[in-house]
Amino acid sequence: MISLVARRILQLILLLLGISFIVFMSMYIAPGDPATVIAGPTASASDLEAIRTNLGLDKPVLEQYFNYLGGILHGDFGYSYQTGQTVTDAILTRFPNTLKLAIASMIVATIIGIVAGIISAIKQNSWIDVTSTTIALFGVSIPNFWLGAMLILIFSVNLQWFPVGGLNESIFSISGIKQLILPAITLGTASAALIARMSRSSMLEIIQSDYIRTAKAKGVKQKSLIWVHALRNAMIPVITVIGINFGSLLGGTIITEQVFAINGIGRLMIDAIASRDFPIVQGTVLLVAAIFVTVNLIVDIIYALIDPRISYD
Amino acid sequence: MNEGMIDGMKLNRVISMFAILIASVVLISGCGNKSSKEISKEKKQEITYASTSDAAGLSPIDTNDSISSNVTMQVYETLFIQDPETMEIKPLLAESYDNPDENTWTIKLREGIKFHDGTPFNAEAVKYTFDQLKDPDRAAPRASLLEPVDSIEVKDEYIVELKTKKPYGPMLAALSHTNAAIVSPTADKEDDINKDPVGTGPFVFEEWEEGDHITLRRNEDYWRDSADLETVTFKIVPEMSTAISMLETGEVQFIDNLPSDLLPRIESLNDVKVQKSEGTRVSFLGFNMEEEPFTDLKFRQAVAYGIDQEAYVNQLNGLGIMNESLIGPKVFGYKEGAEDVAYPFDKEKAKQIIEENGYKGKKITLLAANRDNYKKMAEIVQSQLTDIGLDVKIETMEWATFLDTARKGNFEMTFLGWANSTADGSELLYPNLHSDTIDASNYTRYSNPEFDKLVEESRNNVDQDERLEKLNEANIMAIKDAPWIVMEHGTVSAAYSKSVDGLLISPNGQWSLYNVSRK
């Protein structure tokens, strides 16, 4: 296990190095000049030149890249071209919001997904099963921005149960929880649907297996049959889905953050791309990549813990 | 076959747990709802404005975008100010000015004004600010505003003298520009005013949670009567439809720059007032004047005759004005009737010119940025130009790529806009159409020595009547020469809660909250 973690961490470092190079070069090659965006269309040629020199954009690209890498080794991820804020600060102030949102969505998705999946499986072909699989199909298909806008119109504007947007209150307060509910549902729906489908098929497979039939024949109670014998095995593929989904939820909050006016990493990234704020783009992409790889590693470890047959040594 | 593996009771238990969960959520929501209504009844003197993006910074020297200006305008003040109704320039931090000769501007400042940090406002502060704005090391994005200024001298504690290289007609307009606002020298030297702004304005900076909101509070020691509003919040809401929902629920009280397609929804809201008025912004179709066939006046005329701006403006739900003059009615330099020399919509005439000059079936690429109304313009113009016999392809790009491409002249025809925030025609014609600014802001790369001369005469003259004449001549020349076909002159718009009183949007889209109150 320890060698697995060490190997993965080494891979992570190499991966991040590769990603940083690709992102740096692609931002450099991509059309669009940060100075033009900062100065706006009204700026004169000399205004632009001064801004470029100021940002160090007049240096050769490889020199810029190695300066950047050198900075990272000292924990300096650079400054935002737009606001002058350090990349670390910009990320640290926004990451808690994205994390809150991703965790809340994951909780919503996991509870709804697993419960719906299991009920569907044990009540296979009943009306509950049909309803739940149909809803799951819609859940996977509905685009986030539409669902978010609809939830706002129904629950915020008409019923006035929740605020329209923002995520700046403590999650330990009622207003904080209320701010989180609609975005979490919006972001979590697709994952809930996916988890439901996965749980259903996995559970169906398990409850039809020989060992369950044997257990049933031996008179094991239904409750322990489902929750003890079947669930643990059925959950192995589901955990993979949950893990991978959590990684993508953390990186995929862009639209939900946009619709609900949440100040998170997704919005920071999209704004930075639009304004060619290279250091911020680099920082956020590296963060999302690191999270994705780490979450996958954690999933692998949980795998081994759940299923004793899996060993990485 | 799996039926009955869990008995009905268990299932019911799970379902009832869900019901309890949902009920408690509803209950929690119900509790909070009451308090939000109570708050709205109290009518505190506070306002929340939904801003589509975050400010780039809060220093007028270091920024050049309208979102940042919305905030800096409340915190800082300029020497002169444009009246939001008449666009007439009046002294603000200045008391009066004098031109002892054409190249000298002697400005007498108001006495007894202090910056929010207690630093006295005086000629030193003005000199410091303008020197910083012009300093190449500072790389101020709007350094060009004071480019014609050669020296800034302190004559007395409250008298400052600006010397220009050549007579500079739009000086007062430049000094009224938000990016020429006066900053506290102490604060700028000791701190970062881009994060922690210090001006003389009616509101004092309180907090900036980057990406989320900016809060200002009333300046209790303001040199005029204090503002009515105690707190002003700029809440960042990137999605316009979300901002409208927030306006509806009272989470924000004020939004501006209303998109035409969402206007019917906004106008249908109860308790919301919509303000629309003629603005200084102009949007146009620009030709690349260095490329064939756009170098041919006949071709440009044909395109001008072929475009029916009304078809486009009619789709804007009243958020656009049709007038084919380059200098719009709200901009200094416009004289009524200038648009009469333009080429009005005449499809047959356009077709005829195209055919006579062998342009039938000519392939043209129309570049459009994928923001504002540019895509809509592109679709309408494409269909109209197809009707007159051209083969038009649309190419869309995101904004940063577009700016870079257009600036380099890598296009045939494209849509552009100019905010005209100084509302002075010289500041439209010089940066956009003077040959000096090719490779910079003259995206259409128009070069006409005769026109250049008129624009220079309008700039290098401090007699405003003479300037008006020169600008009108230059305007008429450019309309006839048609490097641009004007698509619309913009309107400025805002929607706000009926409890907001005294809000006035200036034709350049800016607004001050000084006279605003909640009733």
Is B39's pLDDT higher than 50?
Answer: no
Chain B residue numbers with beta carbons less than 8 Å from the beta carbon of A229 are none
Q: Indicate the residue of A37, A162, A175 with minimum beta-carbon distance to B403.
A: A37
Return the H-helix or E-strand segment holding A191: helix A174-207
Q: Indicate the residue of A36, A83, A223 with minimum beta-carbon distance to B10.
A: A223
Residue A42 is predicted with a pLDDT of: 65
Contact A45 B5 (CB under 8 A): no
CATH number for the domain that contains residue B377 = 3.10.105.10
Comparing C-alpha atoms, which of B495, B304, B329, B297 is closest to residue B420? B329
Q: Who wins on pLDDT, B141 or B429?
A: B429
Residues B479 and B371 in one domain: yes
Query: Does B144 map to a domain?
Result: yes
Residue A275 is predicted with a pLDDT of: 83
Query: Does B224 map to a domain?
Result: no
Contact B403 A50 (CB under 8 A): no
Residue B37 is predicted with a pLDDT of: 37
Contact A122 B6 (CB under 8 A): yes
What pLDDT, in 10s, does the model give residues B401-418? 888 888 888 999 999 999
State the total domains in chain B.
2
Is B30's pLDDT higher than 70?
Answer: no
Separation of alpha carbons A265 and A143, rounded Å: 20
Residues B359 and B480 in one domain: yes
Residue B40 is predicted with a pLDDT of: 43
State the average pLDDT for chain A: 85
CATH number for the domain that contains residue B84 = 3.90.76.10
Band of residue A311 on the pLDDT scale cut at 50, 70, 90 = low
Cα-based torsion angle of the residue sequence B165, B169, B174, B175 in order, rounded to the nearest 10 degrees = 80
Least confident of A155-169, A231-245, B169-183: A231-245
**Alpha-carbon gap: B348 to the closest alpha carbon of chain A (Å):** 36
Q: In chain A, what percentage of residues exceed pLDDT 90? A: 19
Residue A13: which residues within 8 A CB-CB, separation 6 or more?
Answer: none
Residue B25 is predicted with a pLDDT of: 44
Query: Does B311 map to a domain?
Result: yes
DSSP state of A125: T
Q: Phi and psi (nearest 5°) for B78? A: -100, 170
Query: Does B209 map to a domain?
Result: no
Band of residue B27 on the pLDDT scale cut at 50, 70, 90 = very low
Residue B24 is predicted with a pLDDT of: 47
Average pLDDT, integer, range B477-500 = 95
Is B201's pLDDT higher than 50?
Answer: yes
What pLDDT, in 10s, does the model give residues B416-431? 999 888 889 998 999 8
* Side-chain half-sphere CA neighbours of A66 within 13 A: 4
Chain B residue with the nearest C-alpha to that of A206: B2
Chain B residue numbers with beta carbons less than 8 Å from the beta carbon of A178 are 28-29, 32
Residue B32 is predicted with a pLDDT of: 41
Query: Does B511 map to a domain?
Result: no
What pLDDT, in 10s, does the model give residues A92-125? 999 999 999 999 999 999 999 998 898 888 888 8
Chain B residue with the nearest C-alpha to that of A129: B3
ipTM over 0.90: no
**Alpha-carbon gap: A6 to the closest alpha carbon of chain B (Å):** 37
Residue B338: which residues within 8 A CB-CB, separation 6 or more?
Answer: B325, B327, B472, B475, B476, B479
Chain A residue numbers with beta carbons less than 8 Å from the beta carbon of B141 are 38-40, 43, 47, 51
Residues B300 and B174 in one domain: no
Chain A residue numbers with beta carbons less than 8 Å from the beta carbon of B416 are 41
**Alpha-carbon gap: A5 to the closest alpha carbon of chain B (Å):** 36
Residues B326 and B457 in one domain: yes
Query: Does B329 map to a domain?
Result: yes
Count of helix runs (H) and strand runs (E) in chain A: 14, 0
Question: Going from the N-terminus, what domains does chain A have, and what CATH number goes with each?
Answer: 2-73 (no CATH), 87-306 (1.10.3720.10)
- CA distances to B192, B199, B513 from B196, rounded to whole Å, are 6, 10, 20
What pLDDT, in 10s, does the model give residues A40-59? 766 677 777 888 888 888 88
Contact B64 A177 (CB under 8 A): no
Contact B3 A123 (CB under 8 A): yes
Query: Does B7 map to a domain?
Result: no
Q: Indicate the residue of A41, A44, A271 with minimum beta-carbon distance to B144.
A: A44
Q: Which of A13-27, A281-295, B486-500 has the highest mean pLDDT?
A: B486-500
Separation of alpha carbons B364 and A217, rounded Å: 78
Contact B209 A83 (CB under 8 A): no
Instruction: Tell me which of B186, B208, B230 is where a domain ends.
Output: B186
Q: Where are the alpha helices (DSSP H) in B388-515?
A: 399-407, 426-433, 449-459, 464-481
Separation of alpha carbons B464 and B88, rounded Å: 12
Chain B residue numbers with beta carbons less than 8 Å from the beta carbon of A47 are 139-144
Cβ burial of A64 (10 Å; 0-12, 13-18, 19+) is middle
Interface of B with A in 419-438 (CB under 8 A): 419, 431, 437
Residue B141 is predicted with a pLDDT of: 80
Is B211's pLDDT higher than 50?
Answer: yes
Chain B residue with the nearest C-alpha to that of A208: B2
Residues B468 and B328 in one domain: yes
Is B461's pLDDT higher than 60?
Answer: yes
Residues B182 and B282 in one domain: no
Residues B282 and B182 in one domain: no
Query: Does B283 map to a domain?
Result: yes
Chain A residue with the nearest C-alpha to that of B22: A181
**Alpha-carbon gap: B144 to the closest alpha carbon of chain A (Å):** 7
Q: Indicate the residue of A44, A122, A181 with minimum beta-carbon distance to B440.
A: A44
Q: Indicate the residue of A42, A178, A267 with minimum beta-carbon distance to B431.
A: A42
Q: In chain A, what percentage of residues exceed pLDDT 70? A: 97
Residue B426 is predicted with a pLDDT of: 92
Residues B138 and B283 in one domain: no
Is B496's pLDDT higher than 60?
Answer: yes
Instruction: Tell me which of B152, B186, B220 is where a domain ends.
Output: B186
Domain of B398 in residue numbering reads as: 278-491
State the average pLDDT for chain B: 89
Residue B23 is predicted with a pLDDT of: 47
Average pLDDT, integer, range B59-64 = 90
Instruction: Tell me which of B130, B155, B186 is where a domain ends.
Output: B186
**Alpha-carbon gap: B62 to the closest alpha carbon of chain A (Å):** 9
Q: Phi and psi (nearest 5°) for B180? A: -105, 20
Residue B29 is predicted with a pLDDT of: 43
Is A312's pLDDT higher than 70?
Answer: no
Is B14's pLDDT higher than 50?
Answer: no
Average pLDDT, integer, range A270-292 = 87
Q: Tell whether B236 lies on the interface with A, counting CB pairs under 8 A.
A: yes
Listed in order, strand segments (DSSP E) in B140-266 are 149-156, 159-164, 203-209, 213-218, 231-236, 254-256
Give chain A's length: 313
Is B20's pLDDT higher than 70?
Answer: no
Q: In chain B, what percentage of residues exceed pLDDT 70? A: 92
Q: Tell whether B375 lies on the interface with A, counting CB pairs under 8 A.
A: no
Residues B428 and B319 in one domain: yes
**Alpha-carbon gap: A310 to the closest alpha carbon of chain B (Å):** 29
Chain B residue numbers with beta carbons less than 8 Å from the beta carbon of A36 are 400, 403-404, 407
Q: In chain B, what percentage of residues exceed pLDDT 90? A: 74
Residues B155 and B302 in one domain: no
Residues B451 and B332 in one domain: yes
What pLDDT, in 10s, does the model give residues B374-384? 999 999 999 99
